[in-house]
Amino acid sequence: MKKHLWLAFVFLLSAPLCHAQGIPSADISVGVSDLYIVKGLTVNMTGPNVAFAVNANNWLGLVGDFGAYFGHIPQSFNGELYTFGPRFSLRKSGSRFVPFGQALLGGSHFSMSPPGISGGGTQLAFGLGGGSDIVLTRSGKFAMRGQLEYFGIRAYGGTTPTVRFSGGIVYRLSRKHTAGS
């Protein structure tokens, strides 16, 4: 976990060194996530994560997020998170660094009940967190994303707290131009 925090810190400090222009109308990101269940025994699950966002304007978008996670306690188990909600971005003209925050609501499903999760099956899930994109190309089509979020998995009257670290590549679809570009 310390390695992930160190990478996130370096990622955030290096971001202001970059530049970009325009607003993507939508983006799709593909990456890897670590999901830490922090109630009872700390359980680490890892797996792929995909998100699709449509931007209404310079600062507001709607995102759908899906992640599949695999872990061992020592027995194997897996789970999925499928959520959607608003994303708030801070875009500045001439900057490749785009920080964002998002609030997600949806569901989760676990194949079994690992220690700390209140029952297996399908549960309500909600997330709150954010991250940042760093544009990698002059065209602005590709970016690198890092994010950190709190997820609550709600079942049987209890909430299981989890933390998710994600990193990946973003492909930005058809750019909208801002007034100054």
User: Tens of pLDDT along 73-112?
Assistant: 766 778 899 999 999 999 887 788 999 999 999 999 877 6
Q: Tell me the HSE value of 20 on the side-chain side, using a 13 A CA sphere.
A: 27
DSSP 8-state code for residue 35: E
Output the pLDDT for position 27: 94
Does the structure show a pLDDT above 50 at 12?
no
Does the structure show a pLDDT above 90 at 145?
yes
DSSP 8-state code for residue 177: P
Give the tokens for residue 85.
Answer: 């909600």
Does the structure show a pLDDT above 80 at 171?
yes
Output the pLDDT for position 177: 55
Cα–Cα distance measured from residue 20 to residue 66, given in angstroms and rounded to the nearest whole number: 28
Output the pLDDT for position 157: 78
Task: Please state, in angstroms and as integers, the Cα–Cα distance from residue 72 to each residue in 31, 46, 78, 115, 141, following that order.
Answer: 21, 10, 9, 11, 37
Output the pLDDT for position 113: 52
Please report the DSSP string for 58-69 in residue order. Answer: SSEEEEEEEEEE
Give tens-digit pLDDT for 23-44: 889 999 999 999 988 776 678 8
Average pLDDT over residues 140-162: 90
Does the structure show a pLDDT above 60 at 180?
no
Q: Is the pTM for the entire model greater than 0.85?
A: no
Please, what are the domains in the chain? 2-175 (2.40.160.20)
